[in-house]
Structure 1
Amino acid sequence: MTTHPLVTLHLWGVPGRAVPRAVLRMATGRPALARLPGLRFAKLLGTGDGRTFTVRDADPRRWGLLAVWDDDAAADALEDSPVAASWRRIADEEWSARLRPLAARGLWSGREPFGDPRPQRWDGPVAAVTRARLVLRRAARFWSAVPPVSADLHRAPGLRMAVGIGEAPLGLQGTFSVWDSGASLNAFAYDRAPHAAVVTRTAQEGWYAEELFARLAVLSTRGTLDGTDPAAG
């Protein structure tokens, strides 16, 4: 296994009339994904605005795929695959990013999807992926703590985009965000009071049965969301 896998994130926007077909693809798309050569890890994702991490955040008109590949050639093959073609048949917009892991800790479905990269310097824009599986009996306290952090995130200096991601409407949730630099991400993670308070409470109250945090270099982006590339500088 190489030390630097390639990570891709695709987001597809669909018109309202295509939402049932998007839901069907979420339910049936995994076998086709699993057949793609060079694929190490993949998750089909629903999206939302991440304001509360409850079902009322969900955006049924935007869906995603996060995947980890052996190399660029494997990721290239996705673009010409039946998986991508099936989403493009119903999508009215598409945005994608290519990313390289810079640092990662934790598990996603019992695995380390981004490996165990040695922390390294990167002077360009940086993406952050967070994902957690809640301890359901503690979920209410978690949900009550989210809104101040989310509001602060969306006004944080250096944030280019942020979207909630999840494999299920409840209990499994995360975020994908893009920042001007590692320094701006650090400032939000460690210096902003709402986020620091939630980090402290997470350790004290044991909200998560499983959690992951990863930092990734943004190598390139393509396409649009709501008419623009939200990650472009």
Structure 2
Amino acid sequence: MDPFLIPSGQCAVLQLFSFKGAISKTWGAYRMFHSRLFTPYFPGLQFIKPLGIGSGHGYRAWPKWEASGFFMVFENAKAAMDFRSREEFGEFLEKSEENYCIFMTPTSSRGSWSSFDSWQISEEKGTSGLICSLTRASLKPEFLYRFWKMVSPISLEQKDYKGLVFSQGIGELPLVEQATFTVWESVEEMEAFARKSFHGEAVREVYRLNGFKEQMFTRFFPWHSEGTWGGKDALAPYLSQKIPPVFSVY
């Protein structure tokens, strides 16, 4: 059997955790809050954000108190794998009721997240055809009500939108620091939602009113997923290979 081929260059990782029971939930919240104490010093780690997880489908202001996660950027896939083998990270896997991880390669980006914009854009497009979109915004306080008033229609419209594979709202702070991560079957279907739906109208309205303090729009192709979220690995039908213990990097 041929070895699993992993893209070279920069590797982004979205990691989600869900905890069950008061003790595990409290532990998860505490460790996530204090994760900044050990993560910045790991070799190859370029960027990390501890995340809260939004409730419902896609866009929701109210968080899932039992869930949390990380968005991370590494120099390469090996650094990402090494990070996940750390004892501290293993504790999250052990104590969580459910966890899900998506490995990705950046293909385009504009804007920044807490001043991070050091993306190493790849010309590779992946073999699955899937495209991931991370839309992140920091809202000005005076626009919070106007923005969240538009959220419910977006969430309802997105739920059954053609080509949507996976969607999860994430963020640093409820209401103020928000991001949405989605996975689509194709670029065309992703762009159709962004431009032709109420979502596109909402984004244009916030831009018109200059309601963002900072924003970032980044695309990736996913090349590996593991674990489950909501009882399933949504990307598994599209990603045929799984990483074995020994792998090669192309």
Q: Give the TM-score of the pair, scaled to structure 1.
A: 0.91
Match of residue 40 from structure 2 = 34
Match of residue 206 from structure 1 = 210
Q: CA deviation at 1:70?
A: 0.5
User: Does the residue aligned with 2:12 lie in a helix, a strand or coil?
Assistant: strand
Distance 1:23 1:170 in 2: 18
1:95 aligned onto 2:96: no
Q: Is the 8 A contact 1:51 1:146 kept in 2?
A: no
Query: What are the residue-to-residue correspondences of 1:212-231 with 2, within 5 Å?
Result: 212-231=216-235
Q: Which stretch shifts more, 13-22 or 159-168?
A: 13-22
The one of 11, 15, 28 equivalent to 1:22 is 28
1:63 aligned onto 2:59: no
Match of residue 245 from structure 2 = none
Distance 1:171 1:182 in 2: 28
Distance 2:204 2:232 in 1: 36
Match of residue 175 from structure 2 = 170
Q: Which runs of 5+ in 2 are unaligned?
A: 1-7, 238-250
Give the percent of matched residue pairs that are identical in Structure 1 and Structure 2.
Answer: 27
Letter in 1 for 2:168: V
Q: Is the 8 A contact 2:136 2:217 kept in 1?
A: yes
Q: CA deviation at 1:130?
A: 1.0
Distance 2:185 2:236 in 1: 9
Q: CA deviation at 1:63?
A: 1.1
User: Does the residue aligned with 1:231 lie in a helix, a strand or coil?
Assistant: coil
Letter in 1 for 2:112: L
RMSD of the alignment, in Å?
A: 1.8
User: Does the residue aligned with 2:153 lie in a helix, a strand or coil?
Assistant: helix
Number of equivalences: 227
Q: Is the 8 A contact 2:29 2:68 kept in 1?
A: no
Match of residue 200 from structure 2 = 196
Q: CA deviation at 1:36?
A: 1.3
1:187 aligned onto 2:197: no
Letter in 2 for 1:15: K
Q: Is the 8 A contact 2:45 2:75 kept in 1?
A: yes
The one of 127, 145, 149 equivalent to 2:154 is 149
Letter in 2 for 1:206: N
Q: Is the 8 A contact 1:99 1:219 kept in 2?
A: yes
Match of residue 4 from structure 2 = none
